[in-house]
Structure 1
Amino acid sequence: MDRIKITGGVPLEGAIPISGAKNAALPLMIASLLTDETLTLQNVPRLADVQRLFDILANHGVDTSFQGKRNGQDSLAGQTVAMTASAIVDTRAPYELVSKMRASFWVIGPLLARMGEAVVSLPGGCAIGTRPVDFFIDGLRALGAEIDIDAGYVIARAKNGLVGNRVRFPRISVGATHTVMMAATLAQGETVIENAACEPEIVDLADCLIAMGAKIEGQGTPTIHIQGVPRLHGARHTVLPDRIEAGTYAFAAAMAGGDVTLEGASALHLERPIELLRAAGAEIDVTNRGIRIRRNGHGIEAVDADTAPYPGFPTDLQAQFMALMTSGKGTSHITETIFENRFMHVQELARLGARISLNGQTATVEGVKHLRGAPVMATDLRASVSLVIAGLAAEGDTEVSRIYHLDRGFEHLEQKLSRCGAQISRITG
């Protein structure tokens, strides 16, 4: 099994190109099921989760072709993919595919809207909480679907098509917002989604659907209006930059010290993380190239943070921020408000010398002067990269095992950090 080895204590200097957002690419790929014409996506990241979703969509009849790189294009640039679902050959998404990645459950919306039926396995994904699919099911039922659950499968039918309605989520859910919004594009009449997620990835999907002929207003606000249309057509769309990847490398630069530019990163999508970085002592400049992070000589200050739905501090950056706070001067408190089981990285950070105590959903981090390298184990996607961040600043060598988690969400991680001087390599086998 592959491992990543890091020799810490080397400041980062240089530029890191930010990939297309995984959390945007996945629903955009699923949107290809809504039309029999070709949807071309640019800046698609090369990730294990993306490849898994290609396999799942192929099972439904989506033909995928990859366009070659242009002359002079950076070797780390994203790929361009043309996806065509001219005919849906199977409306069943089996357990052996869906169980590997939670987001694949979202195919239920487009399949139901276009074909009037879908049989989709209950989802898998990172073990960071229960994350039930009740909101998805209730939202689709509000659009007129008949839904049963049998033997681990959600069986959905809408023989006469979906019908627009008012859908109000009891709690903000990005996945449910994606799913209901896609389904509503082909429903009869108007759908109003209330308490919708406001994440940039929601806006990116809406913009793509509009390019495909959908009528959507209010994306990026808590209330989204969708006027259903009879059919959607093909389009070309560029996946937005990954704000979670950008935030991750920003915390890494602050942790290791140095001067790093995150090429293509959007500061508008990272306002709260940038506030926390500045409070922690990093210098942040927004340039026409992206975001520049510097920390030279200034120690890391302890800062408190609570996760919250966008535009708050993302739960997907909580573990990375905690890694930074392990070297903070003083005590910081980090409260996780989104998922109930997202502190699995704490024990692994403790192996590097971190001092962290847990009380319910709040972690108290007492900064230490030095972390020391040790063998550690990744427990989920975001936790795994927090161990890399800590290893960049730790004395000696750190080896991170079970890095298949990393490959699910970070494209060319070792190459990007190596370009900036990090002593990091992958050990195969």
Structure 2
Amino acid sequence: MSRSYFVQGGVRLDGEIEVTGAKNSVLKLMAIALMATGRTTLTNCPDIADIEAMAAVLRLLGCEVEVAGDVVTIDTPEEISNEATDKAVQKLRASVCVLGALVGRTGGAVVAMPGGDAIGNRPLDMHQRGLNHLGAETHMDHGRVVARAEKLTGAEYRLTFPSVGATETFVMAAALAEGKSVLSNAAREPEISDICELLSKMGAKITGAGTSTIEIEGVPELSPVSHRVIGDRIVGATWAFGAVMTRGDLTITGVDPMHMHVALEKLRGAGAEIEVLGPKSIHVVQEKQPLAIYTQTMPFPGFPTDLQPMAIALAAVSKGMSVVTENIFESRFRFVEEMVRMGADAETDGHHAKIVGRDRLDSATVWASDIRAGAGLVLAAMCADGESEVCEVHHIERGYPEFIENVRSLGGIIRAAEELV
């Protein structure tokens, strides 16, 4: 069922906001719980719809999952199913991360091709090739990935692109393989380091997490532990962009500033004053109209593709002409069409977007195509004259905990459609 937010323009975000655990980490950590018999406890978990969606996938596989506040408890039995083919799987892109966990734990898996955001093609070829190197046979069968292995054996594998998902699949499976594995051109995202930290706590032998070469010495079994999820760098940076766009004053806590380094440097280039207050705290102030930016999305430590909509929204209210280049997901520029509805002077050419900024946008009815596009549209609506309607906001709620409450706490004027009755 489609839902909408109504957002009043002309506001300034002001105050303090605490960021909780990373969506792009917690769902994978939940999958890792499949790899050890017993109770795994995750803390600092975000209150987002995708948590319950992932819990549903784990329950299908035989786990007992309890979500209570920011704590997720997963009880994994000795015998688990390795077939994740229900509709619940197809709704959640991150559900593919059970592939490596299941192959590592049970020697096989049947996983339905996942759904998720409509941001472009995300094939599983690299996931499969990684498992092939470890000794598994894989193939596609009527929209399902099928993997089987009598024994997983350590191997060397070089990714053709530093895919986060393929890195996760290989590392999880290799953790329970026999012998040593080396993954080259691995993804370097902080979420990868978080995943490797949990695996190491459980008894895995992993070195090089956070670098382009990860070494894994396989172990016979893993043990359940408790683990705190890292802060969400994308959510933290979203609020930082919101502060700059609305010429606000925000203190953002709960996330490592180094995980947002490139994004914060872009905001400094736009004229923002940004002070690092501590290991998990920054202060962002913007007093004048932001300046134009030039950025391109790249794998970490580059500018994240998840922040591309925020970069375009910022450019639309900045002084001068900005250029934003998308190198990761080809369909993310659907966001530009919605910005044009709001009066943005923007056009795309291949994987480049050119935006000439203006002081204020126009209120309009716009549609969110994915999590980040939805958040970007709300920020843009705050910079418009009048009230805008942002439709399909269920996307936002998959990635941003207590979104309406947080916007209101910072001075934003936002209502859900059902509140208008």
Name the TM-score class by shorter chain.
over 0.9
Name the CA distance, whole Å, in 2 between partners of 1:28 and 1:209.
9
Name the SS of the counterpart of 2:376 in structure 1. Answer: helix
Which range moves more in the overlay, 309-318 or 122-131?
Answer: 122-131
Once residues 329 and 66 of structure 1 are traced to their aligned partners in structure 2, the CA distance between those partners, rounded to angstroms, is 45
* CA-to-aligned-CA distance 1:307-326 (integer Å, 9 cap, x gap): 10100000000001110110
- The offset of 1:95, in angstroms, is 4.7
Task: Write the letter of the residue equivalent to 1:293.
Answer: V
Matched residue of 2:131: which SS?
A: helix
Contact 1:40 1:81 (C-alpha < 8 Å) held by counterparts:
yes
- Which amino acid in the other structure matches residue 217 of structure 2? Q
Distance 1:358 1:88 in 2: 52
Q: Using the alignment, how far apart are the partners of 1:87 and 1:196 within structure 2? A: 31
**1:158 and 2:149 correspond:** yes
Find the counterpart in structure 2 of residue 124 from structure 1.
115
Which residue does 2:25 correspond to in 1? Answer: 24
Aligned-pair Cα RMSD in Å: 1.2
Match of 2:353 in 1: 363
* 1:199-243 C-alpha deviation (Å, 9 max, x unpaired): 000000001110101100000000000000000001111000000
User: Is the counterpart of residue 252 in structure 1 residue 252 in structure 2?
Assistant: no
- Report if aligned partners of 1:358, 1:364 keep a CA contact under 8 Å in 2: yes
Contact 1:16 1:417 in 2 (8 A): no
Q: Distance in 1 between matches of 2:95 and 2:266?
A: 33
The whole-number CA distance in structure 2 between the counterparts of 1:368 and 1:327 is 5
CA contact (8 A) 1:24 1:205 kept: yes
* Aligned counterparts of 1:282 and 1:88: Cα–Cα separation in 2: 54
Determine if the alignment matches structure 1 residue 188 to structure 2 residue 178. Answer: yes
Q: Say if 2:79 is the partner of 1:60.
A: no
Q: Distance in 1 between matches of 2:303 and 2:404?
A: 26
Residue in structure 2 matched with residue 89 of structure 1 by the alignment: 80
Note if contact 2:230-2:255 (Cα within 8 Å) is conserved in structure 1: no
Tell me the equivalent position of 2:94: 103
CA apart distance, 1:8: 1.1
Amino acid of the structure 1 residue aligned with 2:386: G
Opposite residue 374 of structure 2, the aligned amino acid is S
Distance (Å, rounded) in 2 between the aligned partners of 1:95 and 1:172: 29
Determine helix, strand or coil for the equivalent of 1:292: strand
- Please tell me whether the aligned partners of residues 202 and 219 of structure 1 are also in contact (alpha carbons under 8 angstroms): yes
The structure 2 residue matched to 1:261, chosen from 233, 251, 256, is 251
Specify the SS of the correspondent of 1:333: strand
**Contact 2:289 2:359 (8 Å CA) reproduced:** no
The CA deviation string for residues 87-113 of structure 1, in whole angstroms up to 9 with x for no partner, is 343211115122111110111111111
Map of 1:74 onto structure 2 = none
Quote the residue 1:72 is aligned against: none
1:344-397 CA-to-partner distances (Å, cap 9, x unmatched) read: 111111111101111000000011122011111111111111100101111110
Q: How does 1:283-298 map to 2 (within 5 A)?
A: 283-288=273-278, 290-296=281-287, 298=288
Q: State the Cα deviation string for residues 266-311 of structure 1 (Å, max 9, x = none).
A: 1110111011001101110111361111112x22100100110100
CA contact (8 A) 2:245 2:314 kept: yes
Distance in 2, matches of 1:283 and 1:99, equals 43
2:332 aligned counterpart, secondary structure:
coil
Equivalenced residue count is 417
Q: Supply the distance in 2 between the matched residues of 1:123 and 1:95 (Cα, whole angstroms).
A: 10
Alignment of 1:15 with 2:16, yes or no, is yes
What are the within-5 Å matches in structure 2 for residues 35-54 of structure 1?
35-54=36-55
Deviation beyond 6 Å, 4+ runs, structure 1? none
Quick one: distance in 2 between partners of 1:424 and 1:112? 45
Tell me how far apart the structure 2 counterparts of residues 260 and 88 of structure 1 sit (CA, whole Å): 49
2:386 to 379, 385, 396: 396
How far apart, CA to CA, are the structure 1 residues paired with 2:415 and 2:199? 40
TM-score (norm 2): 0.97
User: What is the one-letter code of the residue matched to 2:118?
Assistant: A
Shift of 1:66: 3.7
Look up the match of 1:416: 406
Please say if 1:236 is aligned against 2:226: yes
Q: Corresponding residue for 1:302?
A: 292
- Pick from 165, 172, 179: which aligns with 1:175? 165
Aligned residue identity for 1:20: G
What 5-or-longer segments of structure 1 have no aligned partner?
68-77
1:314 alignment counterpart: 304
**Does structure 2 conserve the Cα–Cα contact (< 8 Å) formed by 1:62 and 1:88?**
no
Aligned equivalents of 1:17, 1:26: Cα separation in 2: 20
In structure 2, what is the equivalent of residue 138 of structure 1? 129
Q: Is the 8 A contact 2:270 2:291 kept in 1?
A: yes
Any unmatched runs of 5+ in structure 2? none
Separation of aligned partners in 1, 2:186 and 2:220: 24
Report deviation, 1:193: 0.5
Task: State which drifts further: 213-222 or 262-271.
Answer: 262-271
Q: Contact conserved, 1:8 with 1:394, CA < 8 A, in 2?
A: yes
Q: Deviations over 1:67-105 (max 9, x none)?
A: 5xxxxxxxxxx6111112123432111151221111101
The answer to whether the Cα contact below 8 Å between 2:368 and 2:391 also exists between their aligned partners in 1 is yes
Letter in 2 for 1:263: T
- How far 1:36 moved relative to its partner? 0.3
The 3 A distance-change label for structure 1 pair 39 and 374 is: same
Equivalents in 2 of 1:122, 1:88: separation in Å?
24
Deviations 1:379-422 (A, max 9, x none): 11111111001011111101101101111111111111111111
